[in-house]
Structures are given as structure tokens and as C-alpha cells.
């Protein structure tokens, strides 16, 4: 059989994708209506979303490779990054990890804006205690949309932009292991966001992000958006996990031993393991839920042989590792950045890695603490209480590593470092409040209250988003070639830090005063605290606008070019020129030293780069 | 700095070795993820069976479809995987590879058709309790994956020309044998659960 030189000639770009997605959606709806077993359109809507997503991906160009293979045509080789230039590359299928990183960054920032607006609407509703601003039904839908959107975002906000852009640079690789998978992990995110937002046209979904049956089985068509949107995120987590792990395992440069791997890469490595293994469980649970809603199976309906506890177990088997999917890369960022600005070696490198793996491992054994108040067998409670408390040990180890690095250091308080300090402060409060929630007696009292809500916002926003900001100020100069204004950055930090604590700390108090979460109306005695929180939340949103203003000001008005290594850091990504060359390195570098050997006399440069660019020594 | 090198390594042998390594790593990672997907279904099987809410795990008159028919599907799946595995151990230019791979493809298509036929003629409705739910979901998820694997197998067959991807990059084609073997093994477990244990 002779391989043909023919090519698929469809113009591949997002416009083609959208043009194909619209008829794709209606084809799915038509098929669903034709074969659906019920009259509430769920089958049609789910098929419509799936067909639209598939059609969008075809328009982007994802079917070219499998079809060219199947037809026996010559397979299109991986695009040469050097030929992939110009602004247009950010708007089409690219197999360059740097382009995908930027695509992720912009997409996630736009999604973050919408998620933030949702939060502002929620807080605005709570200005009054009697749900007059937002009716209860709309309020719970708003909560659900905000929550799922933010779960989408926080799953990808570090791994997507920074993981994709930086991991190959940090390990001395010239590309990712599976560039098509990497691109797929990004291109399913926009359809997922649009499908989730489409829930508003169907009246939203009343379950929050947890989707508990039987409500999720009985809910309106907005629930179908939840199912398909979340399933697409599961696809993104699995494909991203395979690509990241294979890259880190298989493409490390010579000399990049496991003990020289940067901590940020370890954070990505451990979180990728969790995403790879947890997301398929969610996918299976979502398929079961879709079947219950469309072909009337009984996975989750107790009246017909099913059980809602089946969902709760499957969901939280994914859901609790999921929260560590958020935080492990954040730990990696903090342990990566702190030694660079403390100008000291990372204190307890191996201990820190053990801490990351300890958190990752234990995260599989804690999910039933989410079921303490929903009827878990009492005999199981002590085990899950203890396993949850145990997870504070590896987390504490990570804190110890960071504090040990800071001990007696002459810290360079740059903007990234300020955000690292903010992370430590916030996450400490989030972590300690989590210990209370892991204990059965306090959890039974506080689980449904704002205490729990304050806890996870301290860990996710106070932790992960502060780490994200540290990463942004630290690595964006390398990624964009432009320095961000440090003055505006400092204003941003202090504004965000104060507004964040002013917003979320009082929520511990309103939680202790029994204000229930997910409910639009509350005790009028708490109106003063709630108004304080709402006004603080507006300020917090304002701090994000300061960040956006810094980006616009620094990129378009001042445009101060970034030098190759503005922080005088040792790690490998700073040893390549800015902007980063198309293939990263002229040749595969040879790593000869670790990335944190600051202050060590006669420390060798981190790598032999073939004399193209100079590596920074210790100092 | 103009960087025009397409391959990761300029040396073709090193690039091929890297390709082999990445294909192997990627395959095993995918299998690990997919195993968790099926573990979720097996968990649903045992959970609902043990709970037997309202005695509706298997309502009166509900039972597994024909064991013999299920066994035929299983044997076809195993035959597909083993045939391709044996073929893929040969050099991709070898006669045995060119003979066995199309045979595996035909067996794979037959597996999907037989399983599909069975699912249209289950003898029970999907709404009739826990067991019908798990049977349809688990078998459906398995056959969809097997169908996708068969489509990939078809692309391996169509790429066996002189400059085809199967010949140029033979290691990914060899690694694919593990995916078929894995799916056949999953089919074996499913058969044991759905036809014997249930």
C-alpha cells in the first residue's frame, strides 16, 4: 500500500470550529429527539453539546491526524515551531508548548473574570438578608455556576499556562512528549466554558458544584451543561496528566536527575498523577448521571435499585484529590520561588518532595469526610477523620521547608516574594481551619455553614490564587518578554492581601454564628458583617483590576523589555534568551548542577548549554 | 537564534529510541487512567449489588443475557488482542505482521458488532433496577472504547505502506498491543462480574 500525499483541506481555525459547532449542536439535538426515551430534551441537549464539541475540535484540526492515518495518507508531521510565528499562532491549533501556555493564560484570565463577576453578584445579593435582590432559585444557580466555573479555572490555572510553558524549559526539553494531547487539553476548555455558561439559558442548575442526586437527576436542562462541561474538564485533566508525566519522565535532559528536578516540576508531577487517576472516576460518574437523566437507568435513584451514596462516593473520590490538584502546583511555586529570592539553597529538598508525595498519596484516603453529615456509617468516621488530620503532616513539612529556607536569609522582597509571603499567611489560616473541619464533632456543626466556605476560600483563593500571582509576576517576563511594573505590583499585592482577609476572615465568624451557605436569606442580625464582607469583596475584585491594569500598562504603555534573567536565578528556564527560541535550546542541554545552589562558593552553572547563552552561577 | 531542527535529537537513532520510550510511557499512563475509569464502574456494581435497595438490584425475572453469547464476544475480544500482539512482536515489514494485523482488525470489528447486537437485545429494560443499569453502562463504556481501539487498529493497517506511519514509527504500533490486551482483560473481568457474579 503506497501512502498518499493527500491532505485534508479544511481551513483549521476557531471560526471554522464555531461554524461547524452550530450545525453540530442541532444535529445532536435532532438525533436525541429522534431516539430519546423521554420528552424533556435531555438526550438531545447532551448529544447536541457533544456533537458541537466534536465539530468544534474538527474545525480546529484535531481530526486531521486520525483521518489522515485512517485513509492511509501521509501523516502531517509535528509543526516546526520555528515556522509557527505571528499573532495568528495563538488563534489556531499549535503544537508549540509555549503558544499553548499563552493560549491557556488568556483563556483562564477571561474565565476568571466571569467567575469573579459571579462572586460579586452573589455578594451583592447578600447585602440584604431577605433574598429580595436575587430570588432563592436564581441564587443557588448563581452559586453553582460560580463554583463550577471556578473549579474549572483553578484546576487549570497553574498547570495550563505555567505548566505547559515552563516544564519543558525547566527540564531541558525542546518540546512536550505528546504535543497533540497537550493541544487537546487546551482546546476542550473553551467549549467546556461555553457549555457551562449555556446552563443560564436553561435556568441554571440547582445542585451547586457537587451535583448530588436525586436533585441532579430531576433538575432541568441546565444540569446537562454541568454534566458535559465537567466531563470535558475531566478529559482535559487526563490528557494534560498523560502529557506532563510522560514529558517529565521521558524528556529530561541528560544530567537532570530526579534530585535536580525543580520543585515547580515536582508540583506539576504530583498534581498530574492525581488528575490522571481521579478524573476518570468523575467521567464514569458523569456518564452514569447522564444515563439516569436520559435513558432512565437507576444508578442514583434509591426508589429503583440505585443509591445517591454511589454518586457521593464516586464524586468525592474525584473531588477530594481535586482540591490537591489545585494546591500541589501552588506548593511547587512557593518552594520554587522562595529560594531564588532568599538567595539560599532550598532547605530540605528531598523532604519537600516527600511532602508533596505525602499530600498526593493521602489525598486518596480522605474523601469520605465530605460524607460525615450525609449519613456515612459511624464506624467509618474515625478512620476518615484521622486520615484527614494526617494530611496536615506532609503539608506542615512543606511549610517547614519554606520556613527553613527563609531562616536567616537576606530576603529580596520582590513582588513575587510578597505574594509567596501572602500565600504562607493565608494558607496557614486555611489549613488550620481545615483541621477543625476534619474532626467529626465540629464538622457536623460547621459543615453547612460559612465557616466551611471561608476555609476553602482561604486555601484556594488565599493559597492557589496568591501562588498564581507570585508565578505571574515571576515568570511572565520570561513568557511575554515584558517586565511588569513593580510599583503597581506592590500596590496590587497589599490591596489584594488586605481585601482578601477583610472579605473571608469575617466569614469564619458568620459561620460560627450559624449562617448557612448556599442560602440567599439569613439572620438579619448578621447584616452588618455581611455588608462588610460584600464591600470588601468589591475591593478584592478591584485588586484584580489593578492586576489587569498592570498587565495593560506594562505590556502596551511602557513595554519595558525583560532581560533573559531579571531575577538572577539559577534554574534552567532563566538561562535561555527572552523571548524563548522556537525550539527552546539549540541543542539538548547537559545539566551539571541543581537549581538552588545559591550562596555556595564555586557552585557550577546549572547547565552546559553549548556556549549559546550563559548560565548563572551561585551567588 | 534560528532553530530549524525538527526532531528532538538530530540523531535519527536517538530520536527513534526516544519515540519508543515515550510511546511506552504514554501507553502505560493511559492504561492507568483508564483502569480507574473501569474501577468506578466495578465499584458501582459491587455497591449497588450489596445495597440491593428495595430488592431492586435484579428485579423479579431480570437476569444476565445469554452467557454463551457473552462468551463469544469475550473470545472475539481476546482473539483480537492476542492476534495483534503476536503480529506486533514481529518486525513491521515481516509477512506475519502484515497477515495478522488485518486479521486482528476483522476480529475487532466482529467484537464490536456482536457486543452491539447483544446490547440491542438484552431481554430487560434499562429502567428495571441496578443490574440493568450497570450492565448497560459498563458494557457500553467497554464496547465504545473497543470500537475506538479498533478504529486505531484500522489506521495502523492503512499506514503499512513503505512511507506509512506504522513503518516509519513502529514502536507506537507495538505499544498499541498493550492497549488491546488491556481492553480484552477488562472484558474478561466484566464478563466474570456481569455474567457470573451478578
Mutation site, A297, A318, A575, A611, interface B, largest B CB count within 10 A: A297
Which CATH number covers residue A156?
Answer: 1.20.210.10
Identify which of B10, B33, B44 has the shortest CB distance to residue A299.
B44
- pLDDT value at B11 more than 80: no
Nearest-CA distance from B38 to chain A in Å? 8
Best CA proximity match to A202, nearest among A33, A45, A32: A45
A73 and A142 in one domain? no
Measured between alpha carbons, how far is A440 from A188 in angstroms, rounded to an integer? Answer: 39
pLDDT of residue B18: 85
B83: its cell numbers = 492476534
Give the model confidence (pLDDT) of A395-405 as tens digits.
999 999 999 99
DSSP three-state, residue A252 = coil
Distances (CA, A) of B90 to A303, B84, B105, B162: 55, 10, 17, 16
pLDDT tier at A308 (50, 70, 90 boundaries)? very high
Contacts of B163 in chain A (CB under 8 A): 2-3, 74
Residues of B whose CB is below 8 A from A74 = 163
Q: Does the beta-carbon distance from B127 to A296 stay under 8 Å?
A: yes
* pLDDT per residue as tens digits for the range B86-109: 988 877 667 888 889 999 999 999
Domain boundary among A558, A584, A602: A558
> Who has greater pLDDT, A277 or B60?
A277
Closest chain B residue by Cα to residue A174: B8
Please say whether the beta carbons of A469 and A547 come within 8 A: yes
Instruction: Please tell me whether residues A524 and A448 are part of one structural domain.
Output: yes
Measure CB to CB from residue B141 to each of A77, A178, A287 and give the nearest one.
A287
| Torsion angles phi and psi, residue A607, rounded to 5 | -155, 155
B47: nearest CB among A3, A82, A310: A310
Considering only CB atoms, B33 lies closest to which of A242, A291, A306, namely: A242
Q: H/E element holding A608?
A: strand A607-608
Instruction: Tell me which chain A residue has its CA closest to the CA of residue B22.
Output: A250
Strand locations in A356-430, DSSP E?
Answer: none
**A541-545, B1-5, B175-179, range with greatest mean pLDDT:** A541-545
Q: Are residues A191 and A261 in the same domain?
A: yes
In a domain, A510, yes or no: yes
In a domain, A235, yes or no: yes
Each residue's pLDDT tens digit, A363-416: 999 988 999 888 888 888 999 999 999 999 999 999 999 999 999 999 999 999
Among chain A residues, the shortest Cα distance to B125 is held by A297
Same domain, A357 and A397: yes
Arch. (CATH architecture) of B20-51+67-197: Up-down Bundle (1.20)
pLDDT for B5 beyond 70: no
**Alpha-carbon gap, residue A499 to B82, rounded angstroms:** 63
The domain boundary, picked from A23, A57, A77, lies at A77
Confidence (pLDDT) at A84: 66
**Is residue A76 pLDDT above 70, yes or no?**
no
Report the gap between the CA of A455 and the closest CA in chain B (Å): 29
With 0-12 / 13-18 / 19 or more C-beta atoms within 10 angstroms meaning exposed / middle / buried, residue A612 is middle
| Residue in B29, B33, B129 closest to A298 by CB | B129
Q: Are residues A32 and A92 in the same domain?
A: no
Who's near A426: CB < 8 A, 6+ residues apart?
A458, A461, A462, A463, A466, A500, A501
**Quick one: A47 and A184 in the same domain?**
no
Which chain B residue has its CA at the smallest distance from A238's CA?
A: B33
How far are the Cα atoms of A422, B64, B182, B183 from residue B78, in angstroms, in the given order?
A: 57, 21, 10, 9
Collapsed DSSP state (helix, strand, coil) of residue A568: coil
Instruction: Give yes or no for B46 touching A (CB within 8 A).
Output: no
Portion of chain B with pLDDT greater than 90, in percent = 56
Average pLDDT, chain A: 90
Size of interface A-B (CB pairs under 8 A): 179
Domain boundary among A510, A530, A558: A558
Q: Is residue A263 part of a domain?
A: yes
A1 — pLDDT class (breaks 50, 70, 90) = very low
Domain contains A214: yes
- Separation CA A498–CA A414 (nearest Å): 18
| Confidence band, pLDDT 50/70/90 cuts, at residue A615 | very low
Domain span at A342: 88-558
CB contacts of B142 in chain A (<8 Å) are none
Digit-coded pLDDT (tens) for B134-149: 999 999 999 999 999 9
Residue pLDDT, tens place only, B22-47 = 989 999 999 999 999 999 999 999 99
Rounded Cα gap, residues A441 and B100, in angstroms: 63
- Cβ distance of A276 and B34 shorter than 8 Å: no
Domain membership of residue A565 (yes or no) is no
Task: Collapse the DSSP code of A482 into the 3-class scheme (helix H, G, I; strand E, B; otherwise coil) and give the result.
Answer: strand
* Residue A400 within any structural domain of the chain: yes
Distance from CA of A288 to the nearest CA of B (A): 7
Let me know if residue A590 belongs to a domain: no
Q: How do the domains of chain B map onto residue ranges?
A: 20-51+67-197
Nearest by CB to residue A249, choosing from B25, B126, B134, is B25
Which of B26, B32, B155 is opposite residue A66, by nearest beta carbon? B155
In this prediction, residue B6 carries a pLDDT of 40
- Tens of pLDDT, residue by residue over B148-161, are 999 999 999 988 87
Instruction: Give the nearest partner residue to B160 out of A1, A245, A280, using CB atoms.
Output: A1
The full DSSP string for A483-549 is PPPHHHHHHHHHHHHHHHHHHHHHHHHHHHTTPBTT-SB--GGGHHHHHHHHHHHHHHHHHHHHHHH
Mind listing the pLDDT tens digit for each residue in A88-145? 888 888 889 999 999 999 999 999 999 999 999 999 999 999 888 888 888 999 999 9
Q: How far is A80 from chain B (nearest CA, A)?
A: 6
Let me know: does A453 contact A430? Beta carbons within 8 Å: no
Please give the Cα distance from A37 to A43 (Å, whole number): 8
Confidence of residue A473 (pLDDT cuts 50, 70, 90): very high
Residue A69 — pLDDT band, cuts 50, 70, 90?
Answer: confident
pLDDT of residue A80: 54
Chain B contacts of A283, Cβ < 8 Å? 37
**Grid cell digits, residue A423:** 500565600
- Say how far apart CA A566 and CA A457 lie, in whole Å: 33
Residues A441 and A353 in one domain: yes
Beta-carbon contacts of residue A257 (< 8 Å; ≥ 6 apart)? A591
Residue A230 has pLDDT above 90, yes or no: yes
Look at residues A547, A544, A420, A411 and name the one whose alpha carbon lies nearest to residue A485.
A547
Mean pLDDT (chain B, rounded): 87
Q: Is there a single domain that holds both residue A114 and residue A53?
A: no
- What percentage of chain A carries pLDDT values higher than 70? 95
Q: How confident is the model at residue B4 (pLDDT cuts 50, 70, 90)?
A: very low
Domain for residue A577, yes or no? no
What SS3 class is residue A5? coil
Residue A516 vs residues A208, A508, A522: alpha-carbon distances, Å: 14, 12, 8
Contacts of B49 in chain A (CB under 8 A): none
Q: Is the dihedral of CA A422, A426, A428, A431 positive or negative?
A: negative
Buried b (16+ CB within 10 A) or exposed e, A496-511: bbebbbbbbbbbbebb
Rounded Cα gap, residues A356 and A391, in angstroms: 11
**Interval A482-514: pLDDT, tens:** 999 999 999 999 999 999 999 999 999 999 999
**Domain count within chain A:** 2
Average pLDDT on A236-257 reads 95
**Bridge partner list, A590:** A608
Q: Is the pLDDT of residue A56 over 50?
A: yes
Closest CA to A158 of A379, A472, A534: A472
- Between residues 69 and 108 of chain B, which touch chain A (CB distance below 8 Å)? none
- Is residue A285 located within the same domain as residue A387? yes
pLDDT band at residue B124 under the 50/70/90 scheme: confident
Does A207 lie in the same domain as A142?
yes
Q: Are residues A10 and A105 in the same domain?
A: no
With CB atoms and an 8 Å threshold, state whether B8 touches A174: yes
Contact between B160 and A288 using a beta-carbon 8 Å cutoff: no
* B126 Cβ under 8 Å from any chain A Cβ: yes
Among A71, A75, A246, the residue with its CB nearest the CB of B22 is: A246
User: Are A299 and B133 within 8 A, CB to CB?
Assistant: yes
- Please determine, for residue A4, whether its predicted confidence score (pLDDT) is greater than 70: no
In this structure, the answer to whether residues A10 and A158 fall within a common structural domain is no
Mutation for testing the B interface, residue in A73, A296, A298 having most B CBs under 10 Å: A298
H or E stretch covering A56: helix A42-60
Best A289, A306, A375, A582 residue to mutate vs chain B (most B CBs within 10 Å) = A306
Amino acid at each position: 500500500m503506497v501512502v498518499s500525499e493527500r491532505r485534508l483541506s479544511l481551513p483549521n481555525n476557531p471560526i471554522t470550529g464555531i461554524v461547524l459547532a452550530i450545525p453540530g449542536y442541532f444535529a445532536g439535538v435532532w438525533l436525541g429527539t429522534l431516539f430519546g426515551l423521554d420528552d424533556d430534551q435531555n438526550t438531545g441537549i447532551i448529544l447536541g453539546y457533544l456533537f458541537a464539541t466534536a465539530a468544534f475540535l474538527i474545525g480546529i484540526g484535531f481530526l486531521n491526524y486520525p483521518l489522515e492515518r485512517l485513509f492511509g495518507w501521509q501523516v502531517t508531521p509535528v509543526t516546526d515551531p520555528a515556522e509557527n510565528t505571528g499573532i495568528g499562532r495563538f488563534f489556531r491549533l499549535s503544537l508549540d508548548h509555549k503558544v499553548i501556555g499563552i493560549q491557556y493564560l488568556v483563556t483562564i484570565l477571561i474565565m476568571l473574570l466571569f467567575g469573579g463577576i459571579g462572586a460579586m453578584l452573589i455578594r451583592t445579593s447578600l447585602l440584604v438578608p431577605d433574598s429580595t435582590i436575587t430570588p432563592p432559585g436564581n441564587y443557588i444557580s448563581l452559586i453553582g455556576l460560580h463554583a463550577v466555573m471556578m473549579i474549572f479555572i483553578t484546576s487549570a490555572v497553574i498547570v495550563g499556562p505555567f505548566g505547559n510553558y515552563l516544564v519543558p524549559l525547566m527540564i531541558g526539553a525542546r518540546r512536550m512528549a505528546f504535543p497533540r494531547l497537550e493541544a487537546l487539553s487546551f482546546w476542550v476548555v473553551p467549549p467546556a466554558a461555553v457549555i457551562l455558561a449555556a446552563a443560564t439559558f436553561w435556568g441554571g442548575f440547582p445542585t451547586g458544584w457537587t451535583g448530588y442526586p436525586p436533585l441532579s437527576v430531576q433538575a432541568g436542562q441546565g444540569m446537562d451543561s454541568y454534566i458535559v462541561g465537567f466531563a470535558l474538564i475531566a478529559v482535559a485533566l487526563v490528557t494534560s496528566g498523560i502529557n506532563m508525566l510522560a514529558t517529565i519522565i521521558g524528556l529530561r535532559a541528560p544530567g537532570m536527575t530526579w534530585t535536580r528536578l525543580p520543585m515547580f516540576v515536582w508540583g506539576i508531577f504530583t498534581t498530574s498523577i492525581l488528575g490522571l487517576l481521579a478524573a476518570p472516576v468523575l467521567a464514569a460518574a458523569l456518564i452514569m448521571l447522564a444515563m439516569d437523566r436520559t435513558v432512565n437507568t437507576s444508578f442514583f435513584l434509591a426508589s429503583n435499585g440505585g443509591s445517591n451514596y454511589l454518586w457521593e462516593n464516586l464524586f468525592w473520590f474525584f473531588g477530594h484529590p481535586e482540591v490537591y490538584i489545585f494546591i500541589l502546583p501552588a506548593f511547587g511555586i512557593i518552594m520554587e520561588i522562595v529560594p531564588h529570592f532568599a538567595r539560599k539553597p532550598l532547605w530540605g529538598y528531598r523532604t519537600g518532595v516527600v511532602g508533596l508525595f505525602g499530600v498526593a498519596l493521602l489525598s486518596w484516603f480522605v474523601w469520605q469526610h465530605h460524607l460525615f453529615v450525609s449519613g456515612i456509617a459511624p464506624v467509618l468516621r474515625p478512620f476518615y477523620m484521622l486520615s484527614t488530620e494526617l494530611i496536615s503532616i506532609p503539608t506542615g513539612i512543606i511549610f517547614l521547608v519554606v520556613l527553613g529556607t527563609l531562616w536567616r536569609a537576606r530576603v529580596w522582597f520582590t513582588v513575587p516574594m510578597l505574594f509567596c509571603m501572602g500565600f504562607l499567611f493565608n494558607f496557614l489560616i486555611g489549613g488550620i481551619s481545615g483541621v477543625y473541619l476534619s474532626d467529626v464533632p465540629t464538622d457536623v456543626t460547621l459543615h453547612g455553614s460559612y465557616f466551611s466556605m471561608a476555609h476553602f476560600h482561604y486555601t484556594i483563593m488565599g493559597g492557589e490564587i496568591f501562588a498564581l500571582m507570585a508565578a505571574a509576576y515571576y515568570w511572565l517576563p520570561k513568557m511575554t518578554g515584558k517586565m511588569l511594573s513593580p510599583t503597581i505590583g506592590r500596590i496590587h499585592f497589599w490591596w489584594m492581601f488586605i481585601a482578601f482577609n477583610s472579605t473571608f476572615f469575617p466569614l469564619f465568624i458568620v459561620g460560627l454564628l450559624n449562617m448557612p451557605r448556599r442560602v440567599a436569606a439569613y439572620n438579619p442580625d448578621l447584616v452588618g458583617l455581611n455588608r462588610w464582607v460584600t464591600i470588601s469583596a468589591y475591593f478584592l475584585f478591584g485588586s484584580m483590576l489593578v492586576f489587569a491594569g498592570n498587565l495593560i500598562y506594562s505590556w502596551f504603555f511602557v513595554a519595558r523589555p525583560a532581560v533573559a534573567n531579571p531575577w538572577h536565578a539559577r534554574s534552567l528556564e532563566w538561562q535561555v534568551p527572552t523571548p524563548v527560541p522556537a525550539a527552546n535550546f539549540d541543542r539538548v542541554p547537559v545539566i551539571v548542577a541543581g537549581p538552588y545552589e545559591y550562596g555556595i562558593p564555586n557552585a557550577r552553572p546549572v547547565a552546559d548549554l553549548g556556549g549559546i547563552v550563559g548560565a548563572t552561577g551561585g551567588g | 537564534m534560528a532553530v530549524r531542527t525538527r526532531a528532538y535529537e538530530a540523531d535519527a537513532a536517538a530520536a527513534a529510541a526516544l519515540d519508543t520510550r515515550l510511546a511506552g510511557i504514554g501507553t502505560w499512563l493511559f492504561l492507568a487512567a483508564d483502569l480507574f475509569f473501569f474501577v468506578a464502574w466495578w465499584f458501582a456494581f459491587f455497591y449497588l449489588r450489596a445495597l440491593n435497595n428495595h430488592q431492586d438490584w435484579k428485579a423479579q425475572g431480570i437476569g444476565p443475557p445469554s452467557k454463551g453469547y457473552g462468551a463469544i464476544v469475550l473470545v472475539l475480544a481476546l482473539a483480537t488482542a492476542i492476534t495483534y500482539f503476536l503480529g506486533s512482536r514481529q518486525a513491521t515489514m515481516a509477512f506475519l505482521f502484515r497477515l495478522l494485523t488485518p486479521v486482528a482488525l476483522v476480529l475487532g470489528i466482529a467484537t464490536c458488532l456482536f457486543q452491539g447486537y447483544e446490547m440491542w437485545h438484552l431481554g430487560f429494560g434499562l429502567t428495571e433496577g441496578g443490574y440493568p443499569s450497570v450492565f448497560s453502562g459498563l458494557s457500553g463504556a467497554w464496547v465504545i472504547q473497543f470500537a475506538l481501539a479498533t478504529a486505531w487498529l484500522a489506521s495502523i493497517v492503512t499506514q503499512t505502506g513503505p512511507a506509512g506511519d506504522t513503518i516509519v514509527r513502529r514502536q507506537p504500533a507495538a505499544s498499541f498491543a498493550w492497549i488491546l490486551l488491556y481492553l480484552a482483560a477488562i472484558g474478561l473481568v466484566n464478563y466474570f462480574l456481569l455474567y457470573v457474579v451478578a
